[in-house]
Structure 1
């Protein structure tokens, strides 16, 4: 970088050459039942961060944890009636679609649509599902969600479901179920990206063995950078469980996939966060790195994100430039930053979408 070229100028140049993608987010609290669409202020934050594509995640198991049987918000432990989980997921995807405005925001239903949107300076939203609970064991529900715009499916979230098993408490052994295998095969046919975030090792390895396409792990970190926590450190136990082992990272990369690093409060400052990027880069190469923020957004004032939810420099405002600038400062080349900030994810999506 010349003495006359600022990091902001350099980022703008990188952004002109590649698509920037947030691999995992809940913008504007769109996963809450009382949010009708993603707010303009929230979308503006992403534009300031140079993000072109937001992977907008509906929480697939929300009706078990924070959506009451009457459809209102409230934390609890619920047993939804048959059809209620699918109905909630469909409703939340509809809220994402209500945000679509052809003048400013488009649906990310194909790589070609996103490339066209970028040329016109438009933001693209990709509907996604965090946890396949909403399928309710029915493959036709996957087809219905696909036709409503679903292009990415995270198999599990905070509970073992009809598809597979989770990596956090309450632990349960086992990998993909028979229905889970059917879901993976059908995702391949429909050209839906498969996301392994929150999956336990068995579910990860089963999916990698079965899938004909590369997969991603959208928002995670590196477990080997975290020592095993003490029994009393519940928050650190969650971090340790949620992050990937080196074996899992290698396996996802060997399939051609991408690991999205999360700017979580578990990495309290930018230096801590960069260590996770560096580790994956050194372990499997730059072509397997991405970014998934897990932003909830500031669209729900009654349920704001905790102050320590994210890495400090990223913050509640979602300062994506702090991360891309941090990569440049760390010595990543312009090409490498472009790959991490979205190029790698987009490569996987093109491979999935254009597979024969």
Structure 2
């Protein structure tokens, strides 16, 4: 059974419906669930023509990020596939989506919006994306807050209390240090790779240091192997980084976070048909069946169970 813990499956665009042909590839590939992220800051970011990296180009208007999130969530809810909300909702022969949000920009100082999203079925929320927001700093822009803010700490506590998984992908290392001091439940870094000094792209700003990854591990959390920026190595590179993380972090703390169809995934993993190659690579390396299951789905499910135990 495979669970991809960070995707934009069938809905990469700013507006519109989910492409159901993408969702239809889940069952044949043995993908039991895809965590699908609503992007709050999508109207305020664009790709730099020189660096090719996403960055902020304007500030959001009041309510604009919340509107973007709600539009995404509605499209996922209308995609013709069931929404999984609890650990017992996952079945290999009956694929589901898990609702998530990328960036707390939609909060605008209102913690009760977290409760509303939990009631709607959202089960995973990132603190930040490409805007430095009121919760903390990001990896791809100069620091503003010096890490996790006082409000960000309240967000962490509220998410732990109501049973929503906290995702620190895109957060600066100092922000994660603050999260680690406050969090009482495991948290995730759903899509990243370990820094690799001296290697092409090895110091990509979205890659994480051993210390960063260790904070996720010490919480009981999981880091998801990522493909989107691997322009040279492509899918074999994602597999290589997956094994680097297994060796460095341990079999209990690595998962799959493709981010499809973003970046390189647009051609390498535009849908779920190639996910079985990740599972096969784990088996071919000689991992036991239970170890393969941990990376493909079990580690993420363990975190969901721990967080939903409220």
Q: 1:295 matched to which residue of 2?
A: 260
How far 1:315 sits from its partner (Å)? 3.5
Displacement of 1:172 after TM fit?
4.1
For the pair 1:263 / 2:227, whether they are aligned, the reply is yes
Instruction: Look up the match of 1:176.
Output: 148
The offset of 1:202, in angstroms, is 0.8
Structure 1 position 216 matched with structure 2 position 192 = no
Match of 1:320 in 2: 275
Number of the residue aligned with 2:98: 126
2:49 maps to what in 1?
none
Where 2:181 maps in the other structure, the secondary structure is helix
**Structure 1: 5+ residue stretches without partners:** 1-14, 67-74, 230-235, 297-304
Name the SS for the 2:82 alignment partner: strand
Could you say which residue in structure 2 is the equivalent of 1:59?
Answer: 39
Aligned pair in 2 of structure 1 residues 76, 194: CA closer, same or farther (>3 Å)?
Answer: closer
1:336 to 288, 291, 306: 291
Question: Which one of 215, 222, 243 corresponds to residue 278 of structure 1?
Answer: 243
Deviation digits for residues 322-342 of structure 1, max 9, x if unmatched? 111112122222211111111
> What's the CA shift string for 1:50-73, capped at 9, x where partnerless?
11111110112113226xxxxxxx
Secondary structure at 1:322 match in 2 = helix
| Residue 254, structure 1, aligned to residue 218, structure 2 | yes
Deviation of 1:268 (Å): 1.3
CA offset digits 1:233-267 (Å, max 9, x no partner): xxx48x62111111112221111111101123426
Output the aligned Cα RMSD: 2.3
Deviations, residues 290-315 of structure 1 (Å, cap 9, x unaligned): 0001013xxxxxxxx66xx1398x44
Q: Does the CA contact (< 8 Å) of 2:228 and 2:265 recur in 1?
A: yes
Distance (whole Å) between structure 1 residues aligned to residue 57 and residue 246 of structure 2 = 40
Native 8 Å contact 1:265 1:311 kept in 2: no
| TM-score where L is the length of structure 2 | 0.89
Out of 89, 97, 104, which is 2:69 matched to?
Answer: 89
Larger Rg: 1
Q: Is the 8 A contact 2:221 2:303 kept in 1?
A: yes
Partner of 1:110: 86
Q: CA deviation at 1:154?
A: 0.6
SS at match of 1:52: strand
TM-score normalised to structure 1 length: 0.78
Q: 2:136·2:147 contact (CA, 8 Å) conserved in 1?
A: yes
Cα separation, partners in 2 of 1:160 and 1:136, compared to 1, 3 Å: same
What does 1:43-82 align with in structure 2 at a 5 Å threshold?
43-65=23-45, 77-82=57-62
Equivalent positions of 1:90-239 (< 5 A) are: 90-99=70-79, 101=80, 105-112=81-88, 114-115=89-90, 118=91, 121-172=93-144, 174-223=146-195, 225-227=196-198, 236=201
Aligned to 2:51: none
Aligned mates of 2:78, 2:269 — CA distance in 1: 27
Q: Deviations over 1:36-89 (max 9, x none)?
A: 2x23211112223211111110112113226xxxxxxxx983333211221221
Q: Does 1:23 align with 2:16?
A: no
- After superposition, the Cα gap between the structure-2 partners of 1:316 and 1:182, relative to the gap in structure 1 and judged at 3 Å, is same
Which residue pairs with 1:11 in the alignment? none
Q: 8 Å contact 2:99–2:122 — kept in the other structure?
A: yes
Q: Secondary structure at the match of 1:106?
A: coil
Structure 2: 5+ residue stretches without partners:
47-54
C-alpha distance in 1 between matches for 2:82 and 2:271 = 23
Structure 1 or 2: more helix by fraction: 1
Distance 1:197 1:43 in 2: 24
Q: Secondary structure at the match of 1:56?
A: strand
